[in-house]
Amino acid sequence: MQEITGFIPSTSTPYSEFKAHLGEEVTVKGTIHNIREMSDFAFILLRTARDLIQCVYSPEFSDFRLSPEIAEQSAAKITGKVVTSETRDGSERYELQIHNIELLSVPADIPPVVISKKQINCDLSVNLDYRPVTLRNPKERAIFKIQEGIQRGFREYLQSQNFTEIHSPKINFAGAEGGTNVFKLDYFGKTVYLAQSPQLYKQALVPVYERVFEIAPVFRAEHHDTSRHLNEYISMDFEMGFIDSFTDIMNMETGCLKHIMNLLKTEYAPEIELLKVNVPEITSIPCIRFKDAKELCVKKLKNITDMKDFEPEEEAFLGKWAKQQYNSDFLFVTHYLSKKRPFYTMDDPEDPEVTLSFDLLFRGIEITSGGQRIHDYNMQVEKMKKLGMNPDEFETYLMLHKYGAPPHGGLGLGLERLTMHLLGFKNVRYAAMFPRDINRVSP
Ligand code: ATP
Ligand code: MG
């Protein structure tokens, strides 16, 4: 009888172990990324999960001979001797002198886009149309390896701070914050909504676990085609109870971002190097009140008409201002107007026109909104009524307040937005693996 033990024998030597095998024969499994044939020798780049391994073919190395069926994008098992390779910068690199190539599979066709060059050279829309193929390009895949690092850092840091990871439902009877950007869904004849955020559920879990977080997709029916909005994006959310002030939330986010950036610099160094990422140094993040930030914008920029919120140009200006004044890539803007924040936001007891809320700007664009929430039942019901909402429709949500909740608050951080600005992209779609926008639901 065959028994499954959970043990998978290693049949491929990772590049990181090449040094230890210098002069020895090893076998590596991977995809043939690129073949450059010269008159009597050839370079074959083998793409493994995270590396490109240079393999050199010469009839002098063995009896093995290259044949035409060995094509780019074939899955292969290459056996060869590990030798040091010459590099322009004198750094330590290793390559394989090929002794044998065993093909594991061959492609049926050549890729529709050239992916074996350093960079994909096609329009964004073509890149996105062929995503399953274009993501194989090392620079493209590095984007999402870094994105994985961001999520991992978020998760690791919050776990270290005793947060519990949760998953809230994405199909809901009521839209979290209402408004025009909710997707409606026919649910066996009833109208239901796709979650715009995990807001109401993460708050409900504060009296249960005190601190919770979620990394999951959220859905926004953005009716416009902008360079920074997707219709489905990954929201990294947390909510924490027993806060003394809403600055506790900003401190938690700052600690989290420091951890993320350090993790990227250490564990994701190859991708950071490949994409020449300027990873921000964070010691502390400056804060400015919305009112003061608005005054700065009015003084410096022309034609500002909306005094209640920021236009993208104003955020960009504030980003530059924070860099000049504080040498910071980040800026917290606090105390947004009560009128402009959602119904669950706590008003400032010292000035009810404003809220105990904040946005975090990164290099001049919003990446986070957060703040303290209302925890008192009567206060929440009153605020709903003031805003013309019917508290009866929020019976489930209000159980949180009715049956007791500690002072709490939290935030939502857009993963693609953060990735986009970290990597210096002009369009958020570059930072989404399979983006969903007003014109695109495939691949
Ligand atoms: P914006 O003003 O930029 O449209 P918002 O204030 O409506 O964003 P929030 O509800 O505050 O968005 O969402 C929290 C975070 O989620 C934002 O700071 C941003 O990082 C991200 N985010 C919001 N909407 C989108 C979207 N459509 N696509 C990608 N990320 C988004
Ligand atoms: Mg916001």
- Residue-wise pLDDT for 115-130, tens only, equals 999 999 999 999 999 9
Which residues are 332's β-sheet partners?
287, 360
Mutate which of 227, 236, 355, 366 to test ligand 1's pocket (most atoms within 8 Å of Cβ)? 366
Residue of 369, 375, 401, 408 with catalytic role? 369
Residue nearest to atom 11 of ligand 1 (CA): 369
Span 134-162, mean pLDDT?
Answer: 98
- Residue-wise pLDDT for 352-377, tens only, equals 999 999 999 999 999 999 999 999 99
Q: Is 220 a catalytic residue?
A: yes
Q: Ligand 1 pocket: which residues have CB below 6 Å?
A: 220, 222, 229-230, 233, 235, 366-369, 412, 414, 416-417, 428
Q: Is 222 a catalytic residue?
A: yes
Distance CA 382, CA 389 (A): 10
- Residue-wise pLDDT for 235-284, tens only, equals 999 999 999 999 999 999 999 999 999 999 999 999 999 999 999 999 99
Distance CA 335, CA 329 (A): 20
Distance CA 42, CA 36 (A): 6
On the question of pLDDT at 88 being above 90, the answer is no
Span 103-108, mean pLDDT?
Answer: 97
- What is the reported pLDDT for 133? 97
Q: Say how many Å lie between the CA of residue 233 and the centre of ligand 1.
A: 9
Q: Say how many Å lie between the CA of residue 135 and the centre of ligand 1.
A: 25
In this structure, the chain runs to a length of 443
- Residue-wise pLDDT for 193-227, tens only, equals 999 999 999 999 999 999 999 999 999 998 888 99
- Residue-wise pLDDT for 414-431, tens only, equals 999 999 999 999 999 999
- What is the reported pLDDT for 418? 98
Distance CA 138, CA 53 (A): 12
**How does the average pLDDT of the chain come out, rounded?**
96
On the question of pLDDT at 3 being above 70, the answer is yes
Atom of ligand 1 at shortest range from CA of 235: 16
Starting at the edge strand found earlier in the chain, the sheet holding 330-334 runs 164-165, 211-219, 232-241, 408-414, 365-372, 357-362, 330-334, 287-289
- What is the reported pLDDT for 114? 95
Q: Is 65 a catalytic residue?
A: no
- What is the reported pLDDT for 178? 67
302 pLDDT band (50/70/90 cuts)?
A: confident
Q: Is 155 a catalytic residue?
A: no
- Residue-wise pLDDT for 306-354, tens only, equals 999 999 999 999 999 999 999 999 999 999 999 999 999 999 999 999 9
Give the environment of ion ligand 2: residues with CB less than 5 A. Answer: 369
Single-letter code of the amino acid located at 247: T
Q: Say how many Å lie between the CA of residue 366 and the centre of ligand 2.
A: 7
Q: Which of 309, 308, 307, 389 is closest to 343 using CA atoms?
A: 389
